[in-house]
Every structure is written in structure tokens, then in C-alpha cells.
Structure 1
């Protein structure tokens, strides 16, 4: 088996592992909605973490045998693998709109990454590392705050959290490349320790935030968002700080921007598809049986809205006998008043 073939095989297995981990994370989010970030006591969640770790390891090994322009686009197949795997193993079928959005996001991302041209290996200096870490922390926190503010819209909240996770994963990859370059240059460990700490923090934050993103939004939208935002953020840093560029000059840049629009359109399609599905969920109604207790219609609890609007207490008018039109009001403490 040639090195190129081995890189392709490892990339495909890595994408399958990532897809399996995402499916398990989404199932954990459905079964334990009260634990938004880290259901540590669920064994299946740790299996998902193990699959994600395996996917990351295989991806790194694939990069050692194949070029970045081949391995990175193959990683985008995670979205395409996840949908049929979810339908096969957990009976979670995706509609035609979800498939179109996932394929658009995958094609756009693959095209964008295939046009990225790597430069000579270089590392970030100390000032750039501090700047990138602070900007990343600010972006992740801002996305989480906005996601919390729109918690009444689960799909929008999910996409925002998935974007935050993608930013964390993408910058973790940037620092990983920096550490690898420093290692090859025989930099002392004390110089690499801060970067290793940043990698650990960002990777952990990405895992926990991505887990929260699967709550109430299905599988395709958050997974596609993480899969697209992660390499796009890393590529943006590479273009601005690592001296990377797009192939074929201005024409390649224009085509790459077109692929970026296609990927963004796929994400928008996935988001609107999930919003439409959420709006189609029946709202539970309440009926009162004559002479009996209150009974609710048979609607699954997970389909109920998170918060029901409060109904203000108002006096109830009742007709009274007599020549004049009078209304009986009942006040607190058991007192009554009759007025016109």
C-alpha cells in the first residue's frame, strides 16, 4: 500500500470515527437534556469522547503520510457519513433538505480546503500566541453569551454553540501546529508549556460546548457547523499569520470564496430546516374533564416548549340576577363585591 493510499484510508476511517462520536453525543443530549455540557456519568458519552479522540489521532497520522490538501477535504466527509449512520444505527432519518444542506456544506468545505496552499513550516511568536489566545477566548465567550440569550430558539442556540466549539477546535489545531514546529526546532519544553496548556483548555472547551450544541437541534446542523467552522478558522489563521495562500492566484482566491459561499449556504439550509421542523412540533393543549382533574393531550414531553407563558390572574365576570346588569367579582381572602 502506497503512502498516499494509506493517507486516504486513514482519513476515511477518521471521518467515520468522528461521525460515530457525534451520533453518540447527540443521543446523550436527547436522553439527558438536564446535563447540557458534560454528562460524565454516562458511559456512552465516554465512548463518544473515545471515538472523537480516535478520529483526531487517525487524522494526525494521515497528515504524516499524505498532503494537507488531500487529508483536510476528506475530513469534511464526516457530515456525509453521519447521516446514513444515524439512520442505520439510531433510526434518526434526515430529510431531503438536511441532505442537501449537508452535501452543500461538505462540497464547499472540501473545495475551499483543496485550494489552500501551505507555506514553509513556521511558528507563532510569543506576542502572536497571546493575541490569538485572547481573541479566541473572547470569541468563544461571546458566542456562548449570545447562545444563552436566544435559548428560546433551540436551533439558533445550537448553531451558535457549535460555532464556538468549532472556533475552539480550530485554534487548538493552530497551536498544535505551532508546538509541532517548535518540537522540530528543538525548542525547550518550558517554552512550549503555555501552548500545550492552551491546547488542553481549548480542546476540553470544544468537547463540552459541542456536547451542549446537540441539545434540541438534532444531528446535522450542529455537526455541520463544527465541521465547517473548525478548518475555516484554522485556514484563516494560516492565511493571515502562517503565510499560506490559495492556489492559482486571484482566480483560485475567487473560486475559494465561491466554495465558502456554498458551505455557508449549506449551513443556512440546515439551520432553516431544523427551525421549520421545530415549528412543526404540535403544542400540548390542556383540557378539563367535567367533574374530574386536569388532563393533558398525549404529546411527548420532549416536544413541549421549555417555558410556557404565565397566565395572569384576572377577575372572572359572572352574570347576576336582577333588573340591572351587575357583575360578581371574587377577591382575595374569600371576600366578594357586587358592582355594576
Structure 2
């Protein structure tokens, strides 16, 4: 129950934070796209700072949840952040949910429940060796890099979607390293943590993911990027959890079928909610001031 409450609390903070960040990022200069100057512009906007504070609170709650539960359990719970993003967006825009909205809510909730019930995520498995650890980590990080490079060749809506997807993969990796950091502290103490590379990897992944997310929010409406971000993070986290952290899921044919159905329902629900008219539209029609983007 504690893990459940922490995961849902993290999702609430993340969902509210993403909406506030996008509202601010949509007003930032497009000339700063995919540049750390974008973050320097955004720190002068109070709504963005509030959104970041909520996001950090969500990440802290998620980190605490990872200290008590498996990443394969926590990640599906945090995927419900889109429900809270929809709640705030609906309040800001006055848009009714309609069939698409309620359908997305039902699918997302049913998908999370179905995956957890069918998979019964639990720890206790043997952690993978260094080779498998770096192989899984490298594949996910490499895919995020490829998506970022590919995004530069697409129209703004596709660009934002791929950047959100890449950021979601990096956030999934960040969650896996956060879990490792918690284990290091429990087993060896803070001194050993500070001498390890994992906490610095958490910081680097978080900063890079934030840059990708803010660039996606800047380029297009929230509905273009948040669905891919929200769908990619739990999938990457589950892959890392099972791939090298020792998480265990049920692998009977029936369980696998329900787990796959649950993940599919999560993705479809996320897409339906993310593309709902209540999501902030942003100002995608802007052009850079004094600069022309090169494709």
C-alpha cells in the first residue's frame, strides 16, 4: 500500500508539473531549441519553476517508492501521471472529457491494474552481470540518441513526439539507476554511493531528459509529446528492471498474455488522453525570432 500511494503521489506531481512546464515552454524562443540556453530562458518564468518543483517532488516520491518496491511495479503506477495532467488541463480549458477522455481513463487504469495483477512484480532475483547490465543500458540509451537525431528531420509534431519518446526512455534509465543508488546506500552507506558513478548518471540522465522534454514542449502542443513520454518511461523501466535489476514477473503463457494486454491498454489509454482537446494547445505556429531553423 505504501508503494502504491507513493507511486500515485509521484504521478500526481509529475502530471501537474508537465502541464505547467509546457505552458511556459510554449512561450520560449524557438531559437534555443535543443540548447541548454532554453533552460536559462525558462528559469525566469514562475509557472515553469512551479512545474519543475512539482516534477522534482514527483521524482523524489518515485525514488522513495523504488526504495520499497520493484521498478516493474512502480513504473506502471507513475504512468498514471497523464490522468492528473488531464485533470489540470480540463480545469484550465473547460473542455469536457467526452467518450475519448473517459475511454482513455478506463484503458489506462485497467491496463495498469491488469499488468500488476497478471505480472505480480517482485524482487529477489539475481542481478545480471556487468555485460548484460551495460548491454541493456546501452541499447536503451542508444535508442534514445537515435530518436533524438531522427527528430530533427521531422515536422514539429513528429519532432515533439520523438523527443518525448527519447526523454521517456532516458527517464526509465534514470529510474533504474535511482533504484541501484538506493541499494548501494542500504548495503554500503552514503560514502560508497558518492564514490560510485550511478548518482552522477542519475543527474546526467535527468538533465538531458529535461532538455529533451522542454524542447518537445516548446515545439508543439502537449498532446504531441506527453503520450510518447508517458508510454516510453514505464516500458524502459520494466525492461531495465527485468533485464538487469533482478525483478521478476510471471512468465506463464496466460500471465504473459495479460501482461502484454495490460501494457497495450496503457499505451492506447495514454495516446487517447494525450491527444484529448483539453490538453494545452501551446503556440506551435511561432517562428524563431532572428533565427531560422536548419533542417
TM range (shorter): 0.7 to 0.9
Mapped to 1, the partners of 2:125 and 2:151 lie a distance apart of 36
- Compared with structure 1, are the counterparts of its residues 158 and 106 closer, same or farther at alpha carbon in structure 2 (3 Å cutoff)? farther
Give the aligned partner of residue 22 of structure 1.
Answer: 18
Matches for 1:170-319 after TM superposition, within 5 Å: 170-186=172-188, 189=192, 193-247=196-250, 249-267=252-270, 269=272, 302=283, 304=285
Give the aligned partner of residue 313 of structure 1.
Answer: none
Aligned-residue offset at 1:161: 0.8
Q: 1:159 aligns with which of 161, 165, 172?
A: 161
Mapped to 1, the partners of 2:20 and 2:124 lie a distance apart of 38
Tell me if the contact between 1:23 and 1:86 (Cα under 8 Å) persists in the aligned partners: yes
Offset from partner CA, 1:245-269 (integer Å, 9 cap, x none): 4336221011111222223334555
- Compared with structure 1, are the counterparts of its residues 174 and 69 closer, same or farther at alpha carbon in structure 2 (3 Å cutoff)? closer
- Compared with structure 1, are the counterparts of its residues 169 and 106 closer, same or farther at alpha carbon in structure 2 (3 Å cutoff)? farther
Tell me if the contact between 1:124 and 1:241 (Cα under 8 Å) persists in the aligned partners: yes
Q: Does 1:143 align with 2:147?
A: yes
- Consecutive unaligned residues of structure 2, counting only runs of 5 or more, are 289-295
Alignment coverage as a number of residue pairs: 276
Tell me if the contact between 1:136 and 1:167 (Cα under 8 Å) persists in the aligned partners: yes
Higher normalized contact order (CA 8 Å, seq sep 6+, divided by chain length)? 2
Tell me if the contact between 1:8 and 1:71 (Cα under 8 Å) persists in the aligned partners: yes
Aligned-residue offset at 1:17: 1.1
Aligned-residue offset at 1:211: 1.5
Aligned-residue offset at 1:238: 2.1
- Consecutive unaligned residues of structure 1, counting only runs of 5 or more, are 279-300, 308-340
Over aligned residue pairs, what C-alpha RMSD do you find?
3.4
Give 3-state SS (helix, strand or coil) of 1:246's partner: coil
Q: Indicate the structure with greater helix content.
A: 2
Give 3-state SS (helix, strand or coil) of 1:214's partner: helix
Offset from partner CA, 1:284-308 (integer Å, 9 cap, x none): xxxxxxxxxxxxxxxxx9464859x
Mapped to 2, the partners of 1:119 and 1:65 lie a distance apart of 10
Aligned-residue offset at 1:221: 4.5
Q: TM-score, normalised by structure 1?
A: 0.68
Q: TM-score, normalised by structure 2?
A: 0.77
